[in-house]
Amino acid sequence: MKLTLEVWPNMPWGRLEAAGPAWNSWGDKSLIWCAERLAEYGYDGLDFIYAKALEGPKDEFEQRLRDLRTTVERLGIEVGYIGCHTTFVTPRLFDRGPRHPDLQDAIDAAVIVGAPSVCTLLGDGYYDPPLNILLSRRDAWRQAREAIAEVAAYARPKGINVSIELLQGTILNRVELMEKMFEEVGEPNLRVTLDAGTWYTTVKPFHAYP
């Protein structure tokens, strides 16, 4: 088992509501600074939210990623995954695919830094926010399946795994549903991300314990 730490930027989702704090302890530090501290503290690797890699001049973006890869290789650690939440389920036609540019850009970034995986969740949820009053469950499931298949197919030839976070507010809020979705999509590079807090609130209520 390897121990990595996920680093967030300030205002991680570009909004100020319950989707993450506006300020993070290392939110104003560079990814290279974070990697150096994590190696110093004994971690095996660095995970980060994709928006953190975007902080800086656009024309220096790929160079920042290459510099990060050089740094982690020098330190003997790795980049475990890049987190990039995107909109998979929505009643807004203009927010749907066919392309999910942020997530696909994060997949391309993972190739540059040598990360094996990109993690995402099915924003904008389904039960939270309550899109179920605007969108049938059948339609939401179809949207999720098509979007997951699309990004997994994009990532597969690049050698990148796509990991979907099991989350109580989305249509994939139970292990059985995640398994069903993965069976329907059928891509070999799909993975699941389990947040400990989410696991407790999402999965435990559906199971009987002695």
Q: Does 209 have pLDDT greater than 60?
A: no
Distance (Å, whole) CA 90 – CA 74: 43
Distance (Å, whole) CA 39 – CA 31: 12
Model pTM score: 0.91
**87 φ/ψ sector (left φ>0, alpha ψ -120 to 50, else beta):** beta
> Is the four-CA dihedral 65, 70, 73, 77 of positive or negative sign?
negative
For 122-179, what is each residue's pLDDT tens digit?
887 898 889 999 999 999 999 999 999 999 999 999 999 999 999 888 999 888 999 9
Distance (Å, whole) CA 185 – CA 95: 21
For 28-39, what is each residue's pLDDT tens digit?
999 999 999 999
The top-scoring range by mean pLDDT among 12-16, 93-97, 185-189, 200-204 is: 185-189
**What domains are defined for the chain?**
1-83 (no CATH), 88-210 (3.20.20.150)
CB contact at 8 A, 134 and 126: no
The single-letter code of the amino acid at 130 is P
Question: What pLDDT shows up at residue 19?
Answer: 57
Burial of 66-101, coded b for 16+ CB within 10 Å and e otherwise, reads eebbebbeebebbbbbbbbbbbbbbbeeeebeeebe
Please name the residues in contact with 165: beta carbons below 8 A apart, sequence gap of 6 or more: 119, 120, 121, 192, 193, 194, 195, 198
For 45-73, what is each residue's pLDDT tens digit?
999 999 999 999 999 999 999 999 999 99
CA 165 to chain CA centroid, nearest Å: 7
Q: Among 116, 160, 161, 120, which Cα is nearest to 144's?
A: 120
C-beta contacts of 35-43 below 8 A and 24+ residues apart: 35/68, 35/71, 35/72, 35/75, 35/77, 36/71, 36/75, 38/4, 38/5, 38/77, 39/75, 39/76, 39/77, 42/3, 43/3, 43/4, 43/5, 43/77
pLDDT, mean over the chain:
90
